[in-house]
Amino acid sequence: MDTSTKPGSSGLHIALAKANSGKPYLGDPRVVSELVRAFIGTIAASVGQSSAGKISRDDSIKAIDTALYALADTLAGKNDTYETVGEWNPGGLAAYIREILANSINATDAEDDLNAIQQACAVLCRDVYQALAQLNKGESEDDVALTLEGIAGDYTNLFAGLPVDGDEQERLEQLVTAHECATERPLLTSVDVVSELIRQAYAKCVARRGEYFAGNAPDAAAQDVTDMRALGELLEGKGDAASEYAVQPWNSVEQMGEYLKEAYDLQSADDAAFTVLLTCLGNVYRTIDDAEKRKLTDYGWMIDGEIEMATFAVLGLPWETDDEAVRGEKYPGEPPAYPFEPEEGDEQ
């Protein structure tokens, strides 16, 4: 299937289904959105009642403060009604807030994770106040409602670790930054980290393939299988090597494996990551063979493209390209029958 068009191709639908153990899951933007919108609703209602003389200003402030601290506690993982996202609640979120809202919060106080989250909720409250104040300046209710909708979206993304920018590549980069705030270890769902792991593994295989054709590595095919299986297991969070990385729920057979099985019509989730990585390696070999057959001297960018596609495939991310030659093709494609043997008639 085409990962750029398949519904839920980010793998989020699977992650949410697995991570939500019967409780509302704070990694689900829909859950976070409900929390944010409920808080905005409390502010709007309290301000409206105060303006209408139905409650005192002090009672209005008290109601908003109570809602603010309740929201902050929930986002900090202090509300047992909600399922947290590992190290994200509160550590990763607080670090992300300190980065994104650096100019809006007190940095010294925000060294405390809960305080940083409370300050972010206060900034949200301020933004809502400012939007509501426009009603007194002649702004229409519809326009204010649109402003509040934008505020709700922005703070949902902030509290869920998603950037507000709509550009896909920047979104991916910022999303990685958000989660890397939670740990000092390389994140095993980072595009950069996974891309580098795949690049190093493929470079080793390509070098060994050259030795194979020179008659010096007769077991190259078996070694490729071993290396791709090891890489697949690492990306699934298995083995001692995985302890060096920040393993996320996605790094599992239950999420990554099941997603790849579904996306590429594979037989088994257990071998899905391995199968995709070996298939993509075959694509790299074919790219090299084709480039050399055409006597191209600069085809490194083609290999980079294959590595990027492999990275996006195993991370369950949509992949887009401006290259008309490959746009719309299935990726990673069909597994090679045997990645080392040249096609009949080709020169070694």
**pLDDT exceeds cutoff 80 at 314:** yes
Do 234 and 305 belong together in one domain? yes
> Is 52 contained in some domain?
yes
Do 196 and 296 belong together in one domain? yes
Do 90 and 225 belong together in one domain? no
Distance CA 157, CA 172 (A): 13
Return the pLDDT at 67.
95
Percent of the chain at pLDDT exceeding 70? 78
Q: Which of 139, 173, 207 is the last residue of a domain?
A: 173
> Is 233 contained in some domain?
yes
Do 204 and 168 belong together in one domain? no
Is the pTM higher than 0.75? no
Supply the mean pLDDT for the chain.
78
Give me the mean pLDDT over the 22-43 stretch. Answer: 91
**pLDDT exceeds cutoff 90 at 201:** yes
- Name the residue with tokens 């960018």: 301
Distance CA 277, CA 283 (A): 10
Return the pLDDT at 164.
52
Task: Work out the angle at residue 101's Cα, subtended by the Cα atoms of residues 72 and 181, and round it to the nearest 5 degrees.
Answer: 75
Give me the mean pLDDT over the 187-204 stretch. Answer: 88
Let me know: does 46 contact 63? Beta carbons within 8 Å: yes
Both tokens assigned to 235 = 């990306």
Do 238 and 309 belong together in one domain? yes
Do 88 and 162 belong together in one domain? yes
Q: From the CA atom positions of the chain, what is the Rg in Å?
A: 25
Distance of CA 160 to the CA centre of its chain: 11
Give me the mean pLDDT over the 208-220 stretch. Answer: 90
Q: Which of 104, 139, 173 is the last residue of a domain?
A: 173
Model confidence at 334, pLDDT cuts 50, 70, 90, reads: very low
Percent of the chain at pLDDT exceeding 90? 31
Do 146 and 44 belong together in one domain? yes
CA distances from 139 to 3, 40, 50, 52, 142 (A): 43, 18, 19, 18, 8
Return the pLDDT at 321.
45
Return the pLDDT at 14.
40
Do 142 and 221 belong together in one domain? no
- Name the residue with tokens 């470079």: 203
Distance CA 22, CA 268 (A): 27
Phi and psi of 295, rounded to 5°? 60, 40
Amino acid present at 130: Q
Model confidence at 78, pLDDT cuts 50, 70, 90, reads: very high
Task: Work out the angle at residue 345's Cα, subtended by the Cα atoms of residues 344 and 348, and round it to the nearest 5 degrees.
Answer: 90
Among the ranges given (50-54, 68-72, 192-196, 262-266), the one the predictor scored with the smallest mean pLDDT:
262-266
Do 157 and 263 belong together in one domain? no
What is the SS3 string spanning the chain?
Answer: CCCCCCCCCCCHHHHHHHHCCCCCECCCHHHHHHHHHHHHHHHHHHHHHHHCCCCCHHHHHHHHHHHHHHHHHHHCCCCCCCECCHHHCCHHHHHHHHHHCCCCCCCCHHHCHHHHHHHHHHHHHHHHHHHHHHHHHCCCHHHHHHHHHHHHHHHHHHHHCCCCCCCHHHHHHHHHHHHHCCCCCCECCCHHHHHHHHHHHHHHHHHHHHHHHCCCCCCHHHHHHHHHHHHHHHHCCCCHHHHHCECCCCCCHHHHHHHHHHHCCCCCCCCHHHHHHHHHHHHHHHHHHHHHHCCCCCCHHHHHHHHHHHHHHHHCCCCCCCCCCCCCCCCCCCCCCCCCCCCCCCCC
Model confidence at 163, pLDDT cuts 50, 70, 90, reads: low
> Is 14 contained in some domain?
no
Interval 238-284: pLDDT, tens? 999 998 887 877 788 988 888 888 777 888 889 999 999 999 999 89
* 23 compared with 248, residue with greater pLDDT: 23
> Is 337 contained in some domain?
no
- Give the count of domains, the chain: 2
Do 113 and 202 belong together in one domain? no
Distance CA 93, CA 99 (A): 10
**pLDDT exceeds cutoff 80 at 39:** yes
> Is 181 contained in some domain?
no
Range among 151-155, 161-165, 273-277, 292-296 rated most confident: 273-277
> Is 35 contained in some domain?
yes
Let me know: does 339 contact 11? Beta carbons within 8 Å: no
Give me the mean pLDDT over the 168-180 stretch. Answer: 45
Both tokens assigned to 138 = 């002649």
Interval 81-117: pLDDT, tens? 998 887 788 998 999 898 888 877 887 887 899 999 9
- What domain range includes position 286? 191-315
> Is 2 contained in some domain?
no
Which CB contacts under 8 angstroms, 24+ apart, belong to 38-41? Answer: 38/67, 39/67, 39/68, 39/71, 39/121, 39/124, 39/125, 40/124, 40/128, 40/148, 40/151, 40/152
Let me know: does 218 contact 209? Beta carbons within 8 Å: no
Return the pLDDT at 326.
34
Do 65 and 157 belong together in one domain? yes
Return the pLDDT at 339.
38
Return the pLDDT at 200.
95
> Is 130 contained in some domain?
yes
Phi and psi of 145, rounded to 5°? -60, -40
Do 168 and 97 belong together in one domain? yes
Q: Which of 173, 202, 223 is the last residue of a domain?
A: 173
